[in-house]
């Protein structure tokens, strides 16, 4: 297969690039923002026409949830227009596009897990622009997979695990939001999921295109997640002491962007159609040293 990756220096982009390098019979063109700005339609078309991918994986996004509230145009340019250009280009060369989206397309009021058919209603610009991107991709390319994931962490880039480990070095006590629930998802597992789907597509297996949820289990609050991170860090001697943790409410930690209190994603569809199991974030934390800078 011939795979074009955008945003290759992001959390998921790095894992994808690393893992795809080991896949046999695969040509990879991994592009960072400097080599392909996805908001530049001409550049997108030129890259796709020249490389002739069978699969485009869009790992580029504007992921700064709070900043997005101010950077509205930029968020829509990167999260809606860029994916649309990539999907149109994919369609023009007969490629499939694998696009990553987010749990933040949901409002968060549901009791229970969100399935792919649940009504979306984002609470902020980031979620709105990502939802607009999903719609644009689905409308522009017949062969599309939209993978909604959540609470991404990996060895590369910035994420909650790294922030906790950094704060744990300098603070004796931390207050963490305990009333938002979701599934922390390891970037390496997102990458391997996308690669498995890409292989199925290029091997000619019958594939049901559309939206899929893929996130980590067990579902937890940010407080629970922090608690687990510090337990492993102390156990593995990455930290000497565990900071005292206090669970606080969202109201006690105001942020520019509102976030869903429940963004638990249901993973059944991807299990049924692709036999892909949910990511296990506890396993991904086993090598906690990997998340220290
Ligand atoms: N992070 C999460 O917790 C989370 C949760 C749910 C879903 N997701 C989704 O998962 C996907 C991957 O997220 P991630 O955490 O890997 O993101 P990330 O680490 O923020 O990486 C995004 C990458 O996109 C690049 N980028 C930004 N604008 C671009 C442009 N115009 N053209 C080309 N590249 C551009 C960024 O480059 P610069 O660094 O140079 O800006 C960065 O390397 C995204 O679709 C995101 O919406 C993430």
Q: Does residue 117 lie in a domain region? A: yes
Report the domain count for the chain. Answer: 1
Q: Does residue 151 lie in a domain region? A: yes
**Which tens digits make up the pLDDT trace of 81-125?**
999 999 999 999 999 999 999 999 999 999 999 999 999 999 999
**Which tens digits make up the pLDDT trace of 35-92?**
999 999 999 999 999 999 999 999 999 999 999 999 999 999 999 999 999 999 999 9
Q: Where in the sequence is the domain holding 108, given as residue range(s)?
A: 2-157+184-218+259-280
Which residue in the block uniquely carries the two structure tokens 């968060």? 108
> Which pair of tokens denotes residue 72?
């509205």
Q: Does residue 94 lie in a domain region? A: yes
Instruction: Give the pTM.
Output: 0.97
Q: Does residue 166 lie in a domain region? A: no
> Which pair of tokens denotes residue 116?
């792919």
Q: Does residue 237 lie in a domain region? A: no
Question: Residues near ligand 1 with C-beta < 6 Å?
Answer: 6-7, 9-13, 33, 36-39, 59-63, 78, 82, 100, 102-103, 130, 149-152, 157
Q: Does residue 286 lie in a domain region? A: no
What is the DSSP code (8-state) at residue 262? B
d(CA 248, CA 245): 10
Catalytic (active-site) positions: 126
**Which tens digits make up the pLDDT trace of 218-262?**
999 999 999 999 999 999 999 999 999 999 999 999 999 999 999
CA of 244 to the centre of ligand 1 (A): 32
- Do the Cβ atoms of 100 and 144 come closer than 8 Å? no
What's the CATH code of the domain at 27?
3.40.50.720
Q: Does residue 205 lie in a domain region? A: yes
Q: Does residue 226 lie in a domain region? A: no
d(CA 184, CA 229): 11
Is the pLDDT assigned to residue 264 strictly greater than 90? Answer: yes
């Amino acid at each position: 297969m011939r795979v074009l990756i955008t945003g290759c220096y992001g959390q998921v982009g790095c894992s994808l690039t690393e893992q795809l390098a080991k896949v046999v019979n695969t040509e990879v063109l991994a592009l960072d923002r400097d080599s392909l700005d996805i908001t530049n339609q001409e550049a997108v078309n030129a890259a796709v026409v020249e490389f002739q991918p069978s699969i485009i994986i869009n790992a580029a996004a504007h992921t700064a949830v709070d900043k997005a509230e101010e950077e509205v145009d930029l968020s829509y340019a990167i999260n809606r227009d860029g994916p649309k250009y990539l999907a149109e280009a994919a369609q023009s060369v007969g490629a499939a596009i694998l696009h990553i989206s987010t749990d933040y397309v949901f409002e968060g009021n549901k009791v229970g897990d969100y399935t792919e058919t649940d009504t979306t209603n984002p609470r902020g610009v980031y979620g709105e622009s990502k939802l607009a991107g999903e719609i644009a991709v689905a409308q522009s390319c017949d062969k599309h997979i939209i993978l909604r994931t959540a609470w991404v962490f990996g060895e590369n880039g910035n994420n909650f695990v790294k922030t906790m480990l950094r704060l744990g070095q300098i603070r004796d006590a931390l207050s963490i939001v305990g009333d938002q629930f979701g599934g922390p998802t390891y970037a390496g597992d997102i990458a391997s999921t996308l690669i498995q789907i890409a292989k199925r597509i290029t091997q000619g297996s019958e594939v049901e295109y559309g939206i899929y949820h893929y996130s980590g289990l067990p579902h937890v609050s940010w407080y629970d997640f922090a608690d687990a991170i510090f337990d492993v860090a102390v156990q593995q001697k990455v930290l000497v002491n565990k900071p005292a943790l206090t669970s606080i409410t969202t109201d006690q930690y105001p942020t520019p962007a509102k976030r869903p209190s429940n963004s638990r994603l249901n993973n059944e569809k991807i299990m049924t159609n692709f036999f892909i199991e949910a990511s296990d974030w506890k396993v991904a934390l086993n090598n906690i040293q990997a998340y220290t800078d």
